[in-house]
Structure 1
Amino acid sequence: MISDVMWGRIEPLMPADPVRGRRWADHRRTLEAIAWKYRTGAPWRNLPEELGSFKTAHKRLLRWAADGTWARVFAAVLAAADADGDIGWAVSVDSTVCRAHQHAAGARKGRLRPRRARADHALGRSRGGLSTKVHLASDSNARPPALVLTAGQAGDAPAFTAVMAAIRVPRGDGGRPRTRPEVVLADRAYSSRAIRAHLRERRVRTVIPQPADQVRHRRRRGSMGGRPPTFDPEAYKGRNAVERCIARLKQWRGLAMRCDKLAIAYQDALHLAAILTWVRRSTTLGDRPPPST
């Protein structure tokens, strides 16, 4: 899953071996092992022998999740894409529900939780059983610059500000990270005064349609209902990028159905899938011949 060109971009971002103690196992093989597990959805113990010990891969996933390594690598990949002008800043926002396997339940709580672990582990119970909801933003090329987890029964609109806050693309010159998209596209679930005011305060163009009940309520109030919010139906066609992004992530069977007990492990598995998505796209663009004149 990780070609030589892709590894050439990822390798400089990986942590160095510890000064003391045993040297770590080969990073590339470990990443291949973790990617294989989540791509296929197989149990850890079914990891092929050529990918090394499943204990090594699992411990490395948790260790790098706890110390923030996956988040740092993800931020570095985004910074490199931004430096190449490869991020489409017409951002689409949406969410998807991922069913949780019974093995995802039963995580320990209290003082035994690792750092960055959440008390609820982003698991919720509804009619369909245990589930997790992945809220994400997608650039115009169907790649995710931000991922946020909540319990499966949580609504979309309350998590919108968290998704916007998670968009932080570092600058190569050491300046302030870019956090403001040019335009935000979302469906009717995000049509609220609070969200529109939040984007207006940040000077971000909004393309969100109004649901029928809000339209009727505004018309019923007459002149007191105010003007209808602006909506560009042609620009709204670009919202399919987030749908394609979700479909791309759910091709990883271990992400389409969550089997991880800890939210940090599942979220950073999503980060790994996003890292490979961004790197694969960047290498494809970088390998293209220049256009003929």
Structure 2
Amino acid sequence: MGRGDLTNAEWDRLESLLPRGGARGGRWSDHRRVINGVLYRVRTGVQWRDLPERFGPWETVYKRHRRWSADGTWAMLLSRVQAAEDAGGRIDWDISVDSTAVRAHQHAAGARKAPSRAPSKGGGSGDDPGRSGVAETGRPADGGGPIGECLGRSRGGFTTKVHLAADGRCRPLAFVLTPGHYGDGPQLERVLSQISVPRSEVGRPRSRPDHVLADKAYTSRKNRRYLRRRGIRHTIPERLDQQRHRLNRGSRGGRPTGFDSERYKKRNTVERAINRLKGFRAVATRYEKRAYIYLGTVTLAALTIWLRT
């Protein structure tokens, strides 16, 4: 077993969840070896052709990662592991939200624009899934072009932005990809809507946090109304210009927003979750042309964090 490969305990948690049959009724190559190959690439950021021979043909490893990114297998594994943690009471539902910009490598540019078509029943085929300007966990959609691949120009250059929600133990619960020039605040509702942890018994998946913490980028009235409508308590500081505007309106400006400075200190959990994600070099720098494959890379990195925390 190489450094960074799945341990026996980690493999035991995943083995029963993996697909049994291969493409068109064939047999899959050894799942554990292939997953270790994908993990090696996600951890080191090497080109697929440079994978060590112990992982088998690089084409097999790449195609498995591409297929499972498209059909939601990585997202399913992450969801099942989160469900097991929640059943054991090991998820802290004080959720922190933030984003991070990821610099795109020059090899990430140049994806051809695919013709628009209706998504397949399974959420996209293994070879040509749909694409979207805002990619959600395990849900590819139609679109195309640079915006469609979640690439945009920002101060950092050619970038993709990862918006994520992390639990109180610094583990990514849900995430969304957008082009790098997209703002943080408008994505709060989208990120929180991605939280869906299945119950161990009968019941709907849990999707509502106990508390949400976020910085001033998320302090819009729309976001606060959304959180109040869902009955989610939140700690979000108010910007100075909003305070002045409220005071200038007098009694019509309404009451000041509640803010717990002590509880707000816990927001560092999302910063630490981002640091953990960016410890994987293929996450810290985007090499993939297609957004759904990069989303699969981020999902696998998050799955690894959950397995090893």
TM-score under structure 1 normalisation?
A: 0.93
For residue 147 of structure 1, what is the amino acid of its counterpart? F
Q: Confirm or deny that 1:75 pairs with 2:103.
A: no
Listed one character per residue, the Cα deviations across residues 176-218 of structure 1 (whole Å, up to 9, x for unaligned) are 0100000000000000111011000111101000111111111
- TM-superposed deviation, 1:129: 2.5
Q: How does 1:238-253 map to 2 (within 5 A)?
A: 238-253=266-281
1:259 maps to which of 281, 287, 290 = 287
Structure 2 match to 1:190? 218
Q: Secondary structure at the match of 1:203?
A: coil
Listed one character per residue, the Cα deviations across residues 91-146 of structure 1 (whole Å, up to 9, x for unaligned) are 00000000000110111212388223222111112343211000000000000110
1:123 maps to which of 143, 151, 166 = 151
Specify whether residues 42 and 20 from structure 1 end up closer, same or farther in structure 2 by C-alpha distance, changes over 3 A only.
closer
Q: How does 1:175-214 map to 2 (within 5 A)?
A: 175-214=203-242
Counterpart CA distance in 2 for 1:136 and 1:19 is 32
Counterpart CA distance in 2 for 1:146 and 1:83 is 18
Counterpart CA distance in 2 for 1:116 and 1:14 is 23
For residue 82 of structure 2, what is the amino acid of its counterpart? L
2:34 maps to which of 12, 30, 34 = 30
1:50 maps to which of 36, 49, 54 = 54
2:245 maps to which of 217, 225, 229 = 217
For residue 96 of structure 1, what is the amino acid of its counterpart? T
Structure 2 match to 1:275? 303
Unpaired segments ≥5 residues, structure 2: 117-126, 133-143
Unpaired segments ≥5 residues, structure 1: 282-293
2:8 maps to which of 4, 11, 14 = 4
Structure 2 match to 1:288? none
Q: Confirm or deny that 1:60 pairs with 2:64.
A: yes
Counterpart CA distance in 1 for 2:234 and 2:69 is 34
For residue 103 of structure 2, what is the amino acid of its counterpart? R
Q: Secondary structure at the match of 1:125?
A: strand
Structure 2 match to 1:291? none
Counterpart CA distance in 2 for 1:232 and 1:21 is 57
For residue 44 of structure 2, what is the amino acid of its counterpart? T
- TM-superposed deviation, 1:21: 4.9
The Cα RMSD (Å) is 1.4
Counterpart CA distance in 1 for 2:24 and 2:162 is 38
Q: Secondary structure at the match of 2:68?
A: helix
Percent identity over the alignment is: 51
Structure 1 match to 2:165? 137
Q: Confirm or deny that 1:169 pairs with 2:158.
A: no
- TM-superposed deviation, 1:19: 8.3
For residue 38 of structure 1, what is the amino acid of its counterpart? V
Q: Confirm or deny that 1:229 pairs with 2:257.
A: yes
For residue 3 of structure 1, what is the amino acid of its counterpart? T
For residue 277 of structure 1, what is the amino acid of its counterpart? I
Listed one character per residue, the Cα deviations across residues 42-69 of structure 1 (whole Å, up to 9, x for unaligned) are 1111111112211111100111112111
| Larger deviation, residues 177-186 vs 209-218 | 209-218
Specify whether residues 53 and 129 from structure 1 end up closer, same or farther in structure 2 by C-alpha distance, changes over 3 A only.
same
Counterpart CA distance in 2 for 1:237 and 1:225 is 28
| Larger deviation, residues 196-205 vs 220-229 | 220-229
- TM-superposed deviation, 1:225: 1.1
1:13 maps to which of 17, 20, 42 = 17
1:94 maps to which of 75, 94, 98 = 98
- TM-superposed deviation, 1:244: 0.2
Counterpart CA distance in 2 for 1:72 and 1:56 is 21
For residue 123 of structure 1, what is the amino acid of its counterpart? L
Structure 1 match to 2:183? 155
